[in-house]
Amino acid sequence: VELLIPQLQTLDDEGAQLELWELSKVFLDTLIEETKCQEVALKGFEPETLRVAHSKFPSLHHQKVKAIFPDAGAAALLKYRWKDAVFSFASLSDRKPVDSGDEMVVMIVPDYQMLEYVEKIASTLADDPPRPLIMWNPRLYSADVGVGFNVRQLRRYFLSTFTTVYHMRPMPFGAIFRCYPGLWKVFSDDKDRPNRYLLAKEYANRPDTEDIEMLFDNNEEQKSDEGQSLLDKAAGVFSSINRFMKSI
């Protein structure tokens, strides 16, 4: 699951971090609600009663979904903040982040620096019977790694084993979007209708930079954007985010 929005790409600011964590909780809660991947030992009680019982007697409620955060500090903080969470917490640095009772594991913003741990968890979950592993906004690519052999190997041997079920990436010219099982869609700004998009092309596989360049190669206005300042380009991306969110 990839929400490649500029505001979510940096974790340097504490406020941005909390916003990112809150969005991840929305995803986790929705996932659990839609998949019914939750076991409640107490039945016939009001939700508030169940929450109180769970807070005082955790053993009464077995959580099937495990959320794994980048570090132990984040996991501890969020476990304290989200006392009513219907999923369990762990971090990539834990000695044993995955238990036998975990039926579904969600990695929240896994970082490329912890790739070895990510791969070990994936290998553990692949054992018989296999269990689902979801990566939410993975940060397994980095400019620090480069675009050489290591990244190619990473894409080929690990990330290629995943299916992108949701992807949204606003761009200055429009947006790239996918919702499984649909195709990858590239949208362009509709010059005749403000705040609207036109479907430029669909792809069976994730379009790369070369695909995008070829698609818009004859767009004279796109070429003229090369003279824009960085501030103008950034403003264009944020404007694109707002328009695309309204469109979908």
One domain for residues 96 and 28 = yes
Residue 182, pLDDT > 80, answer yes
Per-residue model confidence as pLDDT tens digits over 195-239: 788 999 999 999 988 898 888 875 545 445 444 444 454 445 445
- The count of structural domains within the chain is 2
Full residue range of the structural domain in which residue 54 is found: 5-162
- DSSP structure string for 161-177: GS---EEEEEETTEEEE
Query: What gap in Å lies between CA 16 and CA 14, rounded to an integer?
Result: 5
Same-domain pairing of 145 and 174: no
Which is nearest to 173 in space by CA: 182, 161, 186? 186
Measured on CA atoms in the order 115, 104, 95, 73, is the torsion positive or negative?
positive
Contacting residues for 214 by C-beta, under 8 A, at least 6 apart: none
Both 196 and 220 in one domain: the answer is yes
pLDDT score, position 235: 46
Q: How confident is the model at residue 16 (pLDDT cuts 50, 70, 90)?
A: confident
Residues 65 and 94 in one domain: yes
List the structure tokens of 61: 């409620």
Is the domain of 195 the same as that of 90?
Answer: no
What interhelical angle do 72-81 and 14-35 show, nearest 10? 70
Residue whose structure tokens are 């807070």: 55
**Same domain membership, residue 189 and residue 108:** no
Indicate the residue among 162, 188, 207 that finishes a domain. 162
Residue whose C-alpha is closest to residue 163's, from 135, 143, 186: 135
- The pLDDT tens digits for 116-155 are 889 899 999 998 789 999 999 998 765 544 555 666 677 6
Radius of gyration of the chain (CA): 21
| 174 shares a domain with 153 | no
**How much is the pLDDT for 165?**
95
Nearest residue to 35 via CA among 97, 122, 103? 103
Q: Say whether both 121 and 73 belong to one domain.
A: yes
Residue that is last in its domain, among 162, 183, 214: 162
- Given a cut of 90, whether residue 244 has pLDDT beyond it is no
pLDDT band for position 98 (cuts 50, 70, 90)? very high
Per residue in 35-84, pLDDT (tens digit) is 888 655 445 556 666 566 555 555 445 579 999 999 999 999 999 999 99
Instruction: Judge contact between 157 and 122, C-beta under 8 A.
Output: no
DSSP-assigned states of every residue in 42-55: --SS-HHHHHHHHH
Mean pLDDT across 80-107: 93
Average confidence (pLDDT) over 182-188:
95
Quick one: 182 and 144 in the same domain? no
| Predicted pLDDT of residue 8 | 67
- Say whether both 186 and 231 belong to one domain: yes
Q: Is the pLDDT of residue 187 over 50?
A: yes
Boundary (domain end) residue, out of 120, 138, 162 = 162
8 Å CB contact between 181 and 227: no
Same domain, 149 and 199: no
- Residue 43 contacts by C-beta under 8 Å, 6 or more apart in sequence? none
Asked whether residue 30 falls in the same domain as residue 121, the answer is yes
Quote the longest CA-to-CA distance of the chain.
65
